Amino acid sequence: MKTYILSNLRIPAGEDFILEDEIARELHLPSTSFKLHRIIRKALDTRKKDHPIWVFTVELEFYFSPPRHPDLCEVQSLKTVNLSPIFIQNPHPYIIGMGPAGLFCALAMVENGLQPWLFDKGDPLEERLIKVQDFWQKGILDENSNIQFGEGGAGTFSDGKLTSRRNEALTQRIYSELIKFGAPEEIAYEALPHLGTDGIQMIVKRIREYLLARGCKFHYRTCLTDIKLNEEKVSQVAFGNQWQEPEIVILAPGNAARDTWKMLHKRGILLEAKPFALGFRIEQKQSDINRWIYGNEHWAEILGPASYRLACKTGFTFCMCPGGKVIIAASEKNTIVTNGMSFSKRESDYGNSAIVTAVNAKNYGNGIWDGINYQINLEKKAFHPGYLAPAQRAKDFLQNQNYSHSIHSTCLPGIYPCNLNNLFSSFISSCLSSTLKYCNHIFPEFYTNSILIAPETRTSSPIKILRKKDELSSLSASNLYPIGEGSGYSGGIISSAVDGWRLGERFKIR
Instruction: Return the CATH number at 232.
Output: 3.50.50.60
Q: In tens digits, what is the pLDDT along the chain, a chain of 510 residues?
A: 789 999 999 999 988 999 999 999 999 999 999 999 999 999 999 999 999 999 999 999 999 999 999 999 999 876 667 789 999 999 999 999 999 999 999 999 999 999 999 999 999 999 999 999 999 999 999 999 999 999 999 999 999 999 987 767 899 999 999 999 999 999 999 999 999 999 999 999 999 999 999 999 999 999 999 999 999 999 999 999 999 999 999 999 999 999 999 999 999 999 999 999 999 999 999 999 999 999 999 999 999 999 999 999 999 999 999 999 999 999 999 999 999 999 999 999 999 999 999 999 999 999 999 999 999 999 999 999 999 999 999 999 999 998 656 788 999 999 999 999 999 999 999 999 999 999 999 999 999 999 999 999 999 999 999 999 999 999 999 999 999 999 999 999 999 999 999 999 999 998
Distance between CA 157 and CA 277 in Å, rounded? 20
- Are both 329 and 387 inside the same structural domain? yes
Please indicate, yes or no, whether residues 40 and 115 belong to a single structural domain of this protein. Answer: no
> Domain range for residue 91?
86-272+463-509
Same domain, 370 and 496: no
With contact defined as beta carbons under 8 Å apart, do 147 and 246 qualify?
no
Do 380 and 426 belong to one domain? yes
d(CA 41, CA 60): 13
CA distance 345 to 316: 26
In this structure, are residues 219 and 227 in contact, taking their beta carbons and an 8 Å threshold? Answer: no
Same domain, 101 and 38: no
> Would residue 189 count as lying in a domain?
yes
**Nearest Cα residue to 147 out of 388, 329, 339:** 329
Q: Is the residue at 98 inside a domain?
A: yes
Per-residue burial over 60-84, b = 16 or more CB atoms within 10 Å of its CB, e = otherwise: bebeeebeeeeebeeeeeeeeeeee
Identify whether the C-beta of residue 349 lies closer than 8 Å to the C-beta of residue 290.
no
Sign of the torsion angle spanned by Cα atoms 152, 158, 159, 162: negative
Task: Give the SS3 label for residue 138.
Answer: helix
Does residue 502 form part of some domain?
Answer: yes
Q: How far is CA 455 from CA 283, 364, 375, 414, in A?
A: 13, 16, 9, 14
CA atoms within 13 A on the CB side of 37: 16
* Angstrom distance (rounded) from CA 444 to CA 437: 9
Give the CA diameter of the chain.
72
Give yes or no: residues 379 and 443 share one domain: yes
Total domain count, the chain? 3
Last residue of a domain, one of 46, 74, 102: 74
